[in-house]
Structure 1
Amino acid sequence: MNWINNVVRPKIQRVFTKKSTTPDNLWHKCPSCGEMIFHRDLDAAMRVCPNCDHHMRLGTKERFASLFDNDEYQTISIDAVALDPLKFRDQKKYPDRLKEARAKTGREDAVTVAHGPLDGVETVIAVEDFSFMGGSLGMAAGEAIIRGAETALEKKLPYILLTAAGGARMQEGILSLMQMPRTTVALQLLREAGLPFIVVLTDPTTGGVLASYAMLGDVHIAEPKALIGFSGRRVIEQTIREKLPEDFQSAEFQFDHGMVDMIVHRHKLKDTLARLIRLMTHRPRSARQQNANVPMAVATQRAP
């Protein structure tokens, strides 16, 4: 028996059952150290834990705001693709899953492309959002990456891609896997045109994404402690029948084995990208870099 509902008088019930008007998401717990962080402090730190420096996942809007000057950019429209070419259904219909992901993120698909100034240099930037169906590579995501490469070719601009994906989208079957060679061809055209293509590997970057465009950059940057690998740890251990190192598939492990050129803290990412694109496009240092006495040479290094 519910004592409040069945015994206490109605006027008194309202005292017990009155709902709190305080939002329940004002504090966030760091998944690494357990520190409780006020939401405004976490946003100001670009979702980097001030206690242990753990890099939490960042959304598309926040990524663009952290890279484009004064948050000024224009998104690039992407051609529509077939909604459900295979009529796929598991526990839910594929169109229903897409509808839920679009409502949750406010985005049409996992990859969004925009162009605008990065430290005064017009740049095309594509962001893969893990919150949209695990950042999975499907036809729309492949089309977005290709459209970004085409825009960079048309405008003669550098192209930066920030990856975060669990792999190919199983609901699109072979059509999702076809995006791997399609994006490879588009990026090869960039290379032939002598335009920079820089990849920033964020947590996590796995599967078919890592096996295609995520490893085709002129420079590969990773965020600290990001998971970077093709297959899952357990699958590999069961296949080779060996115990893998504790830091296996971490950004630091990939750096030590030559798969990543540098590991850069999120707070230093914009400055690093600005130096790289100015170096690769033979542009002089910006006034901001000169005032800060930032060297043009970029050394391969780990983040502190």
Structure 2
Amino acid sequence: MSAQPFDDRDGFIWYNGKLIPWREAQFHVLTHGLHYASSVFEGQRAYSGKVFKSREHSERLINSGRILGFEIPYSAEQIDAAIEETVKANGLTDAYIRPVAWRGAETMGVATKGSKVHLAIATWVWPSYFSPEAREKGLRLHLAEWRRPAPHTAPVRAKAAGLYMIASMNKDAASAEGFDDALMMDYKGRVAEATGANIFFIKDGKLHTPTVECVLDGITRQTAIELAERRGIEVIVRDIWPEEMADFDGAFLTGTAAEIAPLGEIGPYKYAVQELCKDLMDDYTNLVNGRL
């Protein structure tokens, strides 16, 4: 990621219906979303000028807001168009895209009545979340301290900003220990996901991936399953327990930022980067670039 601060850049951000200069995209310090996490967002990518699965992301953004109890004042079609407008205005073809919706500073307090819902879209050049060197030899994951919450204690079906506090704490702890990321368990102690990506395991030519009771059913996760099934690879969705990781042949992460990223180590468990994973990485690259 570039070391350039995100609040001091050239370009444009789409903000509540219009493009404005990047540095002017600001909100008040008493914004409800900042104090009470009434905010949802998406992570998307454009490849060769085309936004990958834009409609799925826009619909999920709207649904995430509804789960948190607010209605984003734009349709999926309008959000798709705004995303394309923002990418074009910034002169980008390969880019990361961040739509975010939040409750504003019209009121203060836990209650949300009277607060306005805002929407902004930013885009910038951001290569794959992990370096080519790390991906080639397989990422190293720390075993996280903090767990994913139970579905009856948090809005786990929403891509909600508040849920990422735990991810940030785990990511920082992993980085401090020299790891690339962290693997989180859920409230029952089952394997859940990394801090911003879903996880798959490989065993005897089959894929195993955790259920999504406590995690977001990622759009890249869904795409990886589709690509595997296209190759005739069986995908088994089930509860996975930490001790099972000793018996898998390989593993990889999936996410918009991470794309498909092989793993070489999870805590005490070591893996070789599998050909099956390399094949899916190639398929994903071809798919997002319109070659598949």
TM-score range, shorter chain: under 0.3
Rg comparison, structure with higher value: 1
Higher helix share: 1
TM-score by length of 2: 0.24
Relative CO higher for 1 or 2, CA cutoff 8 Å, sep ≥ 6? Answer: 2
